[in-house]
Amino acid sequence: MENKTRVGVLFGGKSTEHEVSIASAKNVIRAIDKEKYDVVLIGMDKKGNWYLNEAYQDFLDKTAEGKMKEAIGAGFGERVFIVPNEQAAGQLIRLSDGQQLETIDVFYPVLHGPFGEDGTVQGMLKLLNVPYVGADVLGTAVGMDKDIMKKLLIAEGIPVGDYICLMHYNKDDFSYENIVDRLGLPVFVKPSNAGSSVGISKVRTKEEYETAIEEAFKYDNKVLIEAFIDGREIECAVLGNEFPKASVLGEIVPSHDFYSYDAKYLDDKGAALMIPAPLDEALTARIRKIAVQAFQALCHEGLGRVDFFLTKTNEIYIIEINSMPGFTNISMYPQLWAATGVSQTELVDKLIQLGIQRFERDQNLQVE
Ligand X SMILES: Nc1ncnc2c1ncn2[C@@H]1O[C@H](COP(=O)(O)OP(=O)(O)O)[C@@H](O)[C@H]1O
The footprint of ligand X (CB under 6 A) covers 161, 188, 190, 194-197, 200, 226, 228-229, 233, 254, 258-259, 307, 319-320
Length of the chain: 368
| Cβ pair 121, 148 in contact under 8 A | no
- Order the strands of the 201-203 sheet from edge to edge: 163-167, 222-227, 187-191, 201-203
* 8 versus 113: smaller Cβ distance to ligand X: 113
Instruction: Give the Cα separation of 191 and 218 in Å (integer).
Output: 8
Residue 26 CB, shortest distance to ligand X, in Å, is 21
Minimal distance, residue 69 CB to ligand X, in Å: 24
Q: Which of 331, 303, 329 is nearest to 117 (CA)?
A: 303
**CB closer to ligand X out of 49 and 197:** 197
Alpha carbon dihedral 276, 278, 282, 284, in 10-degree steps, equals -40
Least distance between ligand X and beta carbon 19 (Å): 14
Burial of residue 287, with CB atoms counted within 10 A of its CB: 0-12 exposed, 13-18 middle, 19 or more buried? buried
The Cα 335–Cα 328 span in angstroms is: 10
Q: Shortest gap between Cβ of 191 and ligand X (angstroms)?
A: 8
For the bound state, the minimum distance from the C-beta of residue 304 to ligand X, rounded and expressed in Å, comes to 13
Return the number of the residue (53 or 331) whose C-beta is nearest ligand X.
331
Question: Minimum CB separation from ligand X for residue 297, in Å?
Answer: 18
Q: How far is the CB of 232 from ligand X (least distance, A)?
A: 11
Q: Which is nearer to ligand X, 37 or 333 (CB)?
A: 333
Q: Check residue 116 and report its DSSP letter.
A: T
Cβ-based nearer residue to ligand X, 105 or 233: 233
Q: Which residue is nearest to ligand X (CB)?
A: 259
Nearer to ligand X by Cβ, of 297 and 319: the residue is: 319
The DSSP secondary structure of 182-230, one letter per residue, reads HH-SSEEEEESB--TTTT-EEE-SHHHHHHHHHHHHTT-SEEEEEE---
Closest approach of ligand X to the CB of residue 144, in Å? 9
Contacts of 156 (CB under 8 A, 6+ apart): 293, 294, 297
Q: In 3-state terms, what secondary structure has residue 51?
A: strand
Nearer to ligand X, 52 or 200 (CB): 200
Cβ proximity to ligand X, 109 vs 113, nearer residue = 113
In contact, 200 and 189? CB cutoff 8 Å? yes
Q: Tell whether the torsion through CA atoms of 9, 12, 15 and 19 is positive or negative.
A: positive
